[in-house]
Structure 1
Amino acid sequence: MDSNSASYNAGQAKGQAQEKASGMMDQAKNAAQSAQESMQETGQQMQAKAQGAVDAVKDSTNKS
């Protein structure tokens, strides 16, 4: 194997590694975004439930 061939193969391997790393970063970014959206949705649901509980308490104290 001459030096040109070795250099070419090294470049190929480097390019493939960079592409794989980029793909893994994209997957991690997508997972993080999905988790963030899920947390926001959970927070909104909890807020709505808390507001419902507050309203129920208000209603029960007004009826007494």
Structure 2
Amino acid sequence: MDASQKASYHAGEAKGQIQEKASQMMDKARATVQSAQQSMQETGQQMKAKAQGAADAVKDTVGANK
């Protein structure tokens, strides 16, 4: 292998490593986004349940649930 072939080989090797690292970073970013979406969905459901509980308490107080 001459110097040009070695340089080409190493460039290809580096490119492969960079692509793998980018893929790993994208996978991690996707997992982070998915986790955030799930957390937001759970928070939204909790807020909805609390609002419904507050609305029911007001209805009970004013006698609207009878």
Please give the range of the TM-score, normalised by the shorter of the 2 chains.
over 0.9
Aligned to 1:54: 55
- Output the TM-score relative to the length of structure 1: 0.93
5+ residue gaps, structure 2, are none
Spell out, residue by residue over 1:23-60, the C-alpha distance to the aligned partner (whole angstroms, 9 max, x if none).
Answer: 00110010001000000000000000000000000111
Q: Does 1:25 align with 2:1?
A: no
Bigger helix share: 1
| TM-score, reference length from structure 2 | 0.91
| Runs of 4 or more above 6 Å deviation | none
Q: Say how many residue pairs are matched.
A: 63
Question: Structure 1: which 5+ residue stretches go unaligned?
Answer: none
State the identity %: 68
Q: Which structure is higher in RCO with an 8 Å CA cutoff and minimum separation 6?
A: 2
